[in-house]
């Protein structure tokens, strides 16, 4: 049985690997020259199921408005006349209640924890090393931000997820490289979470998949899904048909453009994120743990001899252009916490588009069109969900019931959709 995977980011690569392990003949189409060259390339590397959650949460709309004129805002809103943006915002706003936040976070964490277990099993089986580290520390500069995380902590406690609220001195004892001069109200330690180099992992898994028989075709354009009646029977690639028994759409933000001609309106919007990568110059002053500055929503991750500093959520602009104020914020935050750790003046910068759905959880599985499976809408947590989502897709392709409950993770969660 021939399966086509559209997209070779971390979601597409893992999908291809698990599909091949399930016995399918797999071909991956990717417009770039290699894997993980867009959104998967410069992310923070965080695999933190306990931390993952929807962008739509209580207080966020007010926070976005308050940040409108702040050059160092963690969330940037750039109003445009794009109707798609305003429709997305209207649906996103409706998901910001405490009740919906709790529901959506539980759905995201269900797939994220499953994905972490799949990743660990895969890492052991294939003996992969991708600059991974254990543990995650959220840092709160103010008591107000510390208090705001109470609902998330309640969910962690309800589910029995290991976590510990730390006083400032305890944070610095856990991560001695934290600067004494940085304002710190407290922290939340998540010992079971981890980080790793997403792009490095994707390249290694692509090589293993190729060794097992997966074909990757780079530098090609998928023009359309080839629909015949109520089924997809392949794709058009650079104008030429390529027949397949099953198509898996794993193309991030661009997925909506392929689905629209089939009558499937996907409310997915690009939320831009930025990253800086700097060389560590003082190992004693560089972090051992990965940390998240909760006030600025900036993650600082140790990747071998480098620091990855990632953050900012910018909505309203589809252009992937570096914005100087966002980049200055990243470096400023890193210097606040680890001033002598790295060569910040020589930072290399990146911008990418996170494929965000209004409510947060990804969309997995079947569509009203036979022969088409979705693996899209992972937002900023594609790396954290990739292996679990890929395993679900492989199980569904086999006609096998997935190991986790897919309630709330399929098209059925949208009114009038067919699961």
Q: In Å, how far from its chain's centre is CA 71?
A: 25
The end-to-end CA distance of the chain, in Å, is 23
Report the SS3 class of residue 43.
Answer: coil
Give phi and psi for 61, each to the nearest 5. -60, -45
Tokens, residue 270: 């690009």
pLDDT at position 370 is 96
Query: Which pLDDT score, from 0 to 100, does residue 69 have?
Result: 66
H/E stretch holding 303 reads strand 298-303
Distance CA 18, CA 27 (A): 13
Predicted structure pTM score:
0.93
Alpha carbon distance 235, 163 (integer Å): 46
Burial (0-12, 13-18, 19+ Cβ within 10 Å), 414: middle
Short-list 365, 357, 375, CA closest to 397: 365
Residue 26: beta bridge partners? 3
Edge-to-edge strands of the sheet including 215-218?
215-218, 25-30, 2-6, 246-249, 372-376, 363-366
Q: How many CA atoms lie within 13 A of 31 on its CB side?
A: 9
Consecutive H or E run containing 333: helix 324-337
Q: Report d(CA 183, CA 198) in Å as an integer.
A: 31
Q: What is the pLDDT along the chain (419 residues), one digit of tens a residue?
A: 999 999 999 999 999 999 999 999 999 999 999 999 999 999 999 998 988 889 888 888 887 877 776 767 778 888 788 889 999 999 999 999 999 998 999 999 999 999 999 999 999 999 999 999 999 999 999 998 899 888 888 888 988 889 999 999 999 999 999 999 999 999 999 999 999 999 999 999 999 999 999 999 999 999 999 999 999 999 999 999 999 999 999 999 999 999 999 999 999 999 999 999 999 999 999 999 999 999 899 999 999 999 999 998 888 878 888 888 889 999 999 999 999 999 999 999 999 999 999 999 999 999 999 999 999 999 999 999 999 999 999 999 999 999 999 999 999 998 653 33
Q: Could you give the CA distance from residue 196 to residue 130 in angstroms, rounded to a whole number? A: 6
Task: Kindly report the number of other CB atoms within 10 A of residue 120's CB atom.
Answer: 14
The DSSP H or E segment spanning 385 is: helix 382-397
What is the rounded distance in angstroms from the CA atom of residue 28 to the CA atom of residue 215?
6
pLDDT at res. 417:
39
Q: Which residues, 6+ apart, have CB-to-CB distance to 34 below 8 Å?
A: 8, 203, 218
Q: Which residue's structure tokens are 């004892």? A: 173
Q: What is the Cα–Cα distance from 213 to 60, expressed in whole angstroms?
A: 46
- Could you tell me how many helices (H) and strands (E) the chain has, helices first? 11, 19
Who contacts 288 (Cβ-Cβ below 8 Å, separation ≥6)? 133, 175, 177, 302
Helices (H), 42-162: 60-66, 83-94, 98-126, 143-148, 150-158
pLDDT at 415: 64
DSSP state letters, 158-187: HTT---EEE-HHHHHHHSTTS-TTS---EE
42 phi and psi angles, rounded to 5 deg: -115, 25
Q: What is the pLDDT of residue 80?
A: 84
Residue 207's CB is within 10 A of a number of other CB atoms, namely: 12
Find all residues with CB under 8 Å of 13, minimum gap 6, and list them. Answer: 28, 35, 36, 202, 205, 206, 209, 386
Q: Contact at 8 Å (CB) between 35 and 216?
A: yes
Q: Tell me the longest C-alpha to C-alpha distance in the chain.
A: 66
Quick one: the chain helix, strand, coil %, rounded to 5?
35, 25, 35
CB 320 within 8 Å of CB 275: no
Predicted pLDDT of residue 419: 36
């Amino acid at each position: 049985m021939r399966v086509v995977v559209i997209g070779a980011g971390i979601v597409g690569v893992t999908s291809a690997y698990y599909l091949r392990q399930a016995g399918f003949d797999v071909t991956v189409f990717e417009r770039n020259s290699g894997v993980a060259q867009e959104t998967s390339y410069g992310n923070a590397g965080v695999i933190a199921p306990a931390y993952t959650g929807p962008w739509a949460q209580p207080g966020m709309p007010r926070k976005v408005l308050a940040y409108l004129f702040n050059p160092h805002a963690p969330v940037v809103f750039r109003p445009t006349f794009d109707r798609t943006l305003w429709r997305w915002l209207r649906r996103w706003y409706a998901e910001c209640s405490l009740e919906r936040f709790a529901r959506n976070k539980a759905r995201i964490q269900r797939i994220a924890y499953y994905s972490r277990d799949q990743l660990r099993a895969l890492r052991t089986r294939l003996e992969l090393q991708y600059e991974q580290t254990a543990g995650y520390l959220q840092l709160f500069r103010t008591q107000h931000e510390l208090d705001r995380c109470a609902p998330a902590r309640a969910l962690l406690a309800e589910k029995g997820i290991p976590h510990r609220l730390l006083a400032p001195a305890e944070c610095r004892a856990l991560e001695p490289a934290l600067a004494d001069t940085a304002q710190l109200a407290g922290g939340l330690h998540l010992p079971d979470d981890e980080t790793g180099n997403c792009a490095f992992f994707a390249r290694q898994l692509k090589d293993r998949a190729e060794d097992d028989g997966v074909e990757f075709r780079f530098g090609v354009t998928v023009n359309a899904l080839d629909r015949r009646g109520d089924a997809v029977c392949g794709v058009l690639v650079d104008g030429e048909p390529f027949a397949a028994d099953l198509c898996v759409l794993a193309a991030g933000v661009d997925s909506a453009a392929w689905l629209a001609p089939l009558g499937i309106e996907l409310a997915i919007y690009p939320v831009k994120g930025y990253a800086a990568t700097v060389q560590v110059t003082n190992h004693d002053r560089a972090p051992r743990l990965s940390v998240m500055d909760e006030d600025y929503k900036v993650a600082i991750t140790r990747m071998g001899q480098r620091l990855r500093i990632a953050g900012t959520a910018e909505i309203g602009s589809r252009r992937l252009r570096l914005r100087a104020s966002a980049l200055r914020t990243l470096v400023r935050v890193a210097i606040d916490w680890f001033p002598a750790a790295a060569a910040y003046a020589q930072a290399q910068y990146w911008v990418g588009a996170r494929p965000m759905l209004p409510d947060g959880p990804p969309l997995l599985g079947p569509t009203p069109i036979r022969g088409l499976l979705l693996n899209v809408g992972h937002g900023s947590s594609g790396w954290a969900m990739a292996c679990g989502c890929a395993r679900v897709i492989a199980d569904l392709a086999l006609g096998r019931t997935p190991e986790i409950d897919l309630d709330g993770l399929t098209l059925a969660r949208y009114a009038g959709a067919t699961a």
